[in-house]
Amino acid sequence: MSDSLLRIEDLHVAAGETPILNGIDLTLEIGQVQAIMGPNGSGKSTLANVLMGHRDYTVTSGRILYQGEDLAGMPTDERARKGMFLAFQNPEAVPGVSVVQFLRQALSNRTGIDLSILELRLKVMEAMRSLGMAPDFADRFLNEGFSGGERKRNEVLQMAVLEPKLAIMDETDSGLDIDALRTVAEGIERLTGPDRGFLVITHYQRLLDYLTADVIHILWDGRLVETGGPELASRLEAEGYEAFRARV
């Protein structure tokens, strides 16, 4: 029996009439951390959004299988209930809704379990301590007035509370200074384990200095042009993306 958590088969995607992804094949096993790296405009964020069922993109051919189930036509909220999670590159602010209120509703939708405010607050506080977040953070309005580092730590906090089966991280390192980057990466590392998988999308190698990836892919012009182990990130840092242009 396969341990595949996510299987992408010859995936082609377009936005309107414009093709963006041109034949993606990828298999992520339960317990793995895989990273997708690529220059701006290569299709990284498109792939993340397509996995979560974003309506602006059309799968023109190919399949996405999650735990063996074809995701074709499945709405975003159902994917989330099945244990898929997307950490956004630029999380939106939600004025009037506190972090703990948001997490209570999200956890209820995800699991069908309604924790009391006290039960949830204890769970949230434990996760916040591990991320170096101040106790009053839970009562602030979601992402309103948050720094870039606070927004990204909040995404990791959501993962710690919701415990997704598959976490897709879309350039979580974007806009972070070195201290915030280390905190966020270490928070993600603590959440890895044998019962879930991570697909980490990043532009730079620096996130992978703190987060160990089992497999690294290079995405260029909508195609995965190279796949390897952790050494591929070091090679990319030394040679740059232009070294992979010939493989497109």
Give the model's pLDDT for residue 18: 96
Go through the chain and tell me how many residues it has. Answer: 248
Give pTM, 2 decimals: 0.91
213 closest CA partner among 95, 36, 49: 36
Quote the tokens at residue 157: 């906090």
Euclidean distance between CA atoms 103 and 109, whole angstroms: 10
Quote the tokens at residue 120: 């949830």
Q: Rounded to a whole number, what is the distance in angstroms from the first to the last CA of the chain?
A: 34
Query: If you write DSSP's letter for every residue of 95-129 in order, what string do you get?
Result: EEEEHHHHHHHHHHHHHS----HHHHHHHHHHHHH
Q: Which residue has the higher pLDDT, 72 or 1?
A: 72
Euclidean distance between CA atoms 132 and 235, whole angstroms: 32
Mean pLDDT of the chain: 90
Residue 144, Cβ density class (10 Å: 0-12 exposed, 13-18 middle, ≥19 buried):
middle
pLDDT digits 0-9 by tens, 127-183: 888 777 888 899 999 999 888 888 888 899 999 999 999 999 998 888 788 888 888
SS (H, E, C) 199-245: EEEECCCHHHHCCCCCEEEEEECCEEEEEECCHHHHHHHHHCHHHHH
Q: Are 169 and 189 in contact (CB under 8 A)?
A: no
- Where are the chain's structural domains? 34-55+75-247
3-state secondary structure of 24: strand
3-state secondary structure of 42: coil
Residue 148, Cβ density class (10 Å: 0-12 exposed, 13-18 middle, ≥19 buried):
middle
Give the model's pLDDT for residue 82: 95
**Longest Cα pair distance anywhere in the chain, in angstroms?**
57
Q: Are 45 and 15 in contact (CB under 8 A)?
A: no
CA angle 64, 173, 194 (to 5 degrees): 50
pLDDT digits 0-9 by tens, 31-82: 999 999 999 899 999 999 999 999 999 999 999 999 999 999 999 999 999 9
Q: Are 35 and 213 in contact (CB under 8 A)?
A: yes
Q: Are 23 and 43 in contact (CB under 8 A)?
A: no
The CATH classification of domain 34-55+75-247, taken from the options 3.90.1150.200, 3.30.70.260, 3.40.50.1820, 3.40.50.300: 3.40.50.300
pLDDT digits 0-9 by tens, 190-239: 899 999 999 999 888 888 988 999 999 999 999 999 999 999 988 888 88
